[in-house]
Amino acid sequence: MNRIITSVLGALIALQLHAVGQLPVIPYPQSVVTAEGHYNVSHGFDVYSADSAFVDEIDFLIDKLNASGRNSRAVDNSRRCGIVMKSDVSVKSPEGYRLVIGKNKIEIAASDAAGAFYGVQTLLQLLNNCRELPCVTINDEPRYGWRGYMRDDARHFTGVESVKNLLDLMAYYKLNRFHWHLTDGQGWRIEIKKYPKLATVGGIGSHSDPDAPCAYYTQEEIREIVDYADKRHIMIIPEIDMPGHATAANRAYPEYNGGGEGIFPDFTFNPGKEETYTYLSDILAEVAGLFAGPYMHIGGDEVAYGINAWKVDPDVNALMKRENFTDVKQCERYFMNRMIGEVAHLGKTLIGWDELLDLDVDKSTNIMWWRHDKPAYLTRSLDAGYTTVLCPRKPLYFDFVQHDSHSVGRIWDGFCPLEDVYAFPDPWFENIGVTPEMQSHIAGMQANAWSELMHNSNRVDFMTWPRLCALAESAWTEPANKNFKDFELRLNDAYRLFDKLNIYYFDHRVPSHHPEPAGPVIKKMSRESETDYRD
């Protein structure tokens, strides 16, 4: 019954959409000029390149067209109709494109393969969402270069197929950064050849069950996913969290344990032992070799939960004496600076959580501002000239619920509704006092999906969609071209797609369409408490 109501509602909304003349594309392009008429499908969907450019993007398009039942193949450029891809240096942004749909020809022009790929995505959305392709000229480019999503595979492991499915949808909505939280207290999820127990021992357990079967990504699987992402113009940023959130690693190799306290036992790596630096440098070297992108994320968050243990650790005490430190916080700075050096030695750019600002890290470091209740960390980061990614808990942490009828997930004096994700960031800039000059240091924005309460695919889907569509539009579309009411209409196409893909999304119009899935049954006390501990 719900499905019938949803379909009827969908049809009505589609009609309304047609009436207001919005193009059914998410994220909405910067410039859309429609013309009379439609593409004449008798010209078919064969694709040619005007100048041998964008071979991979053409292959991608042809595969998708054939998969949707439209016959397509690559043809030579003596053809004058069908789909043409061409390079055009007048398209200034490397991620920008021009898509011109005429009655006889569809043309995608870009100066770079990424832009050509996004032109393809827009065309695919129009093909999926329109009965006939309208004649139109679209000139488009993103507002932000960093349009990201973070998956936490440490608390609950999702696996290769799930990651690939996510990457497919990220690409469809022009998201280009996949931040992969691979290690934390509850599980270590990446094979490290030199220290195999990290995966085989550290990979045992999850947030809901410390005895859950071992789960991790082999290096072969990581390579496969990196390649899959690369074909979709998505860069993967691996995160190996340190010196806190190290409980799973310390289960595997207790010799590098720096201790913890209370509900955070064995929470840190030991900064006082020289062997710790060798161990972590070896790990980072293997990780760096697996990921083609320029970034290495080494966390740096919430060390305070375990740092008191350092006060009584003999190796840390010896370090403090040797370096004339009077406070364990200086050990944290010492540790981070050594690891920053290591990341630089590997030729990577370091990225970490906003706690790094307290350590006066090198200006080449990229900062993720996450503590929404500490806006001074954002202004400090921008004032100091750090390249900064915006991912404040409110409204961009998708472990918060998204509707006031929901109860499984964080609710802290409010939550993260679709509207707020969509509205971000400009009203926040005004409130916090982020000036245009400061904004020039913002790389972009991302949503983070901490998975303590996402133990199965239904819960992952439910917390992700449709909020990730809103994030995609906020990160891509200039504020002047955003309109929440229009966006809501366009979401109808996303919902149709999600139904086809069997995605258990939250239908914000018909909440009963997919009832809120139950949270995990916590089988035993996790090694880190399930208590809400984030500061």
| Contacts with ligand ACM, residue ranges (CB under 6 A) | 301-302, 353, 370, 534
Question: Is 302 noted as a catalytic residue in this protein?
Answer: yes
Beta strands in 124-256, from DSSP E residues, in sequence order? 134-140, 146-152, 177-181, 183-184, 187-188, 235-242
- 135 CB burial (10 A radius; 0-12, 13-18, 19+): middle
In angstroms, what CA-CA distances link 391 with 92, 397, 436? Answer: 27, 7, 19
The catalytic residue among 141, 302, 420, 473 is: 302
Residue with tokens 């000229």: 137
- Residue 299: closest CA among 447, 179, 451: 179
Q: DSSP alpha helices (H): ranges in 21-83?
A: 55-67
Residue 142 or 299: the one with the smaller Cβ distance to ligand ACM is: 299
H or E, element range at 426: helix 426-432
Beta bridge partners of 180: 151, 238
Task: Report the side by side order of strands in the sheet with 105-110.
Answer: 31-38, 134-140, 97-101, 105-110, 82-87, 47-49
Q: How far apart are CA 401 and CA 403, in angstroms?
A: 6
Write down the least CB distance from residue 262 to ligand ACM, Å.
Answer: 17
Residue 103 or 380: the one with the smaller Cβ distance to ligand ACM is: 380
Write down the least CB distance from residue 450 to ligand ACM, Å.
Answer: 6
Write down the least CB distance from residue 301 to ligand ACM, Å.
Answer: 4
- The residue number with the shortest CB distance to ligand ACM is 301
Residue 114 or 396: the one with the smaller Cβ distance to ligand ACM is: 396
Neighbours of 46 (CB within 10 A): 19
Q: How far apart are CA 45 and CA 106, in angstroms?
A: 9
- Residue 241: closest CA among 177, 192, 209, 284: 284
Q: Which residues contact 86 (CB under 8 A, 6 or more apart)?
A: 49, 50, 51, 53, 107, 108, 109
User: What would the two tokens of residue 303 be?
Assistant: 């060390």
Write down the least CB distance from residue 21 to ligand ACM, Å.
Answer: 41
Beta bridge partners of 82: 105
Q: How far apart are CA 485 and CA 483, in angstroms?
A: 6
Residue 48 or 370: the one with the smaller Cβ distance to ligand ACM is: 370
Write down the least CB distance from residue 443 to ligand ACM, Å.
Answer: 17
Residue 147 or 245: the one with the smaller Cβ distance to ligand ACM is: 245
Write down the least CB distance from residue 522 to ligand ACM, Å.
Answer: 20
User: What would the two tokens of residue 32 be?
Assistant: 């859309």
Write down the least CB distance from residue 302 to ligand ACM, Å.
Answer: 5
Cα within 13 Å of Cα(373), Cβ side: 5
The catalytic residue among 152, 184, 301, 473 is: 184
Neighbours of 33 (CB within 10 A): 10
Nearest-Å Rg of the Cα atoms of the chain is 24
Beta bridge partners of 190: 217
Write down the least CB distance from residue 400 to ligand ACM, Å.
Answer: 11
Residue 121 or 247: the one with the smaller Cβ distance to ligand ACM is: 247
Residue 172 or 398: the one with the smaller Cβ distance to ligand ACM is: 398
- Residue 106: closest CA among 80, 125, 129: 80
Write down the least CB distance from residue 367 to ligand ACM, Å.
Answer: 11
Residue 54 or 370: the one with the smaller Cβ distance to ligand ACM is: 370
The catalytic residue among 179, 181, 207, 245 is: 245
Residue 353 or 505: the one with the smaller Cβ distance to ligand ACM is: 353
User: Among all residues, which ones are annotated catalytic?
Assistant: 184, 245, 302
